[in-house]
Structure 1
């Protein structure tokens, strides 16, 4: 049934103008790009609404982490490995070299775009909320249309994203109400990341060969999923420090919001593009994968807020005094 659906979409893809395939590849690629992270959760968190931005960031990182655990637990092969009649879009293969179930694009897309659409649904940005929901649907469909995921991959990936949104909302609400100690959360997160790291390294993986070639390299899959361990660690560590000592606010003037974004955005691009190469030269492949993603998320939730807090103090000094 799942393969029949992919073959049906494949036939449609071949009949359509190549621009359609190019467009769905662009949608799929952009959903995981640093610019999507910069323009949605970072803009929300740094400049517009801290609480809503937190929900999107936690949902996004949480969805990616849960997806990584499931993906390395199930170790399901891609549809073209299961059935040679499936011919995926060549351009989409660059981001689809590992295990198939569940879809990482689906989990990340729901965790990022759908969570943002959910948080903005009752605000003045209702139209933007609709656009975000529509883009989420395009991301989900693109993974089937391009032939890189089965329907069940996308459905479960979507469920992972929805679960992450729910858990993130409950967690943040509980912390706001003082229902849990942030120090205990920090310790629990450290334990979870350590145990997950051990699980990824110690568990057995399938090593099936076809024509002398390994279908999926377990070492490569471990490295890929270690990114999410680093992201979760960076999220909780950064959240804890910001909550305890930084305590920045998005209640500021429009000019300050704009300057915040202009000053903080280059740092995120540095953390994404340059920092991993510097870290790799010191720590090697495995250590750099975890550390570079830690730095990326830690910058979003803690370092950039420090810049925002400093900038707010500068603006406050130059504001005219009343009376």
Structure 2
């Protein structure tokens, strides 16, 4: 239970400092959330460096899909369920739903900022700033009381491993004519297999005071959501690479305007279109299609 003792140590620091750091680490943890990462990825892809933005999206989508596979496989409960002494800060539980291991924020942050660090490794200052950002997101999940150390470490390993694997694939296969078709096919196949696995496996169904600790249907929904992002990123990258081949160009005012319009569309999609699709198609298929189409919109 050393992991719980560590969280209690951080919790005592929160209490002793009267929560002075709570707002800061609540902000830091948002850097590992999908809305922020999507907006950052879109900005890089549309306005700065198309290749880096595409690589970031592929890494993030694949890492989230693999991380979700591990979540629904191990089905580890959150720290405050394991120990009643753990008290996450107010509001932290809203983004800490489902199972605990591995940390989705850590996987997303390490794949997002890790992929950028990989792309810009020759700029040492930028690379280390991105790495520190990943570490800060990981620590924030511990400080807020919503993840154990092993949750964030394994989440980081998942995200970082995907970055290294993708980097190797791009280096080795970049000159191979059909490597984009093969990579997209692999990601699509993994998504189909994960859907079958998520829909057929058994989940623990435990109650405390008449309340279900983790709803399996919620975990299946999250699985469909991650698959939609991963497959949408792969298909969007393939379509753009084969059919569109746009170039990042134009004066900076034009690029900024392009980004602001696109960012507003992303937020609108997540707030409104996603809800319409889930109501029309059902919560699982709707969230998959919504995320897939959103990624296609960003890439193409």
**Cα offset, 1:162, TM superposition:** 0.5
Closer, same or farther: CA 189–59 of 1 in aligned 2, 3 Å: closer
In the alignment, the residues of structure 1 paired with residue 6 and residue 146 of structure 2 have an alpha-carbon distance, to the nearest angstrom, of 12
Offset of residue 94 of structure 1: 0.5
| Structure 2: unaligned runs, 5 residues or longer | none
Runs of 4+ in structure 1 off by over 6 angstroms are none
SS for the counterpart of 1:260 is helix
- 1:152 pairs with 2:150: yes
C-alpha contact 1:27 1:139 (8 A) present in aligned 2 = yes
1:83-136 C-alpha deviation (Å, 9 max, x unpaired): 11111112110011210000001101111123223323324xx54444333222
Residue 268 of structure 1 deviates from its aligned partner by: 2.1
CA deviation vs aligned residue, 1:253-276 (integer Å, no higher than 9, x gap): 445433432443332223222210
- TM-score normalised by structure 1 residue count: 0.86
Q: Please report how far the alpha carbon of residue 180 of structure 1 lies from its aligned counterpart in structure 2 after TM superposition.
A: 4.2
The corresponding residue for 2:262 is: 264
Q: What is the aligned partner in structure 1 of residue 27 from structure 2?
A: 26
* 1:86–1:147 contact (8 Å) kept in structure 2: yes
Residue of structure 1 aligned with 2:231, choices 233, 244, 248: 233
Give the Cα separation in 1 of the matches to 2:36 and 2:105. 15
Contact 1:55 1:172 in 2 (8 A): no
Which residue number corresponds to residue 81 of structure 1? 81
Which residue is 1:299 aligned to? Answer: 297
Label 1:190 to 1:138 Cα distance change in 2 as closer, same or farther (>3 A). Answer: closer
Could you tell me whether the CA contact under 8 Å between 2:60 and 2:230 is conserved in 1? no
For structure 1, list consecutive stretches of 5 or more residues without a partner in the other structure: 303-323
Task: Indicate whether 1:167 and 2:165 are aligned.
Answer: yes
Aligned to 1:195: 193
Q: Which residue number corresponds to residue 243 of structure 2? A: 245
Distance 1:262 1:143, change over 3 A: closer
* Alignment partner, residue 5 of structure 1: 6
From the superposition, tell whether residues 211 and 256 of structure 1 become closer, same or farther in structure 2 (CA, over 3 Å). Answer: closer
Alignment correspondent of 1:44: 44
Greater Cα offset, 109-118 or 176-185: 176-185
RMSD of equivalent CA atoms: 2.0
Pick closer, same or farther for the CA change 1:184–1:58 going to 2, 3 Å: closer
Secondary structure of the corresponding residue to residue 182 of structure 1? helix
Pair 1:239–1:72, CA change in 2 (3 A): same
Closer, same or farther: CA 235–175 of 1 in aligned 2, 3 Å:
farther
Q: 2:101 is paired with a residue of what secondary structure?
A: coil
Partner of 2:220: 222
* Alignment partner, residue 313 of structure 1: none
1:315 alignment counterpart: none
Contact 2:11 2:143 in 1 (8 A): yes
User: What do the CA deviations read for 1:48-93 (whole angstroms, capped 9, x no partner)?
Assistant: 1122222211221122111111101110111111111111112110
Q: Deviations over 1:11-50 (max 9, x none)?
A: 1111113231122112112431524421x32222112112
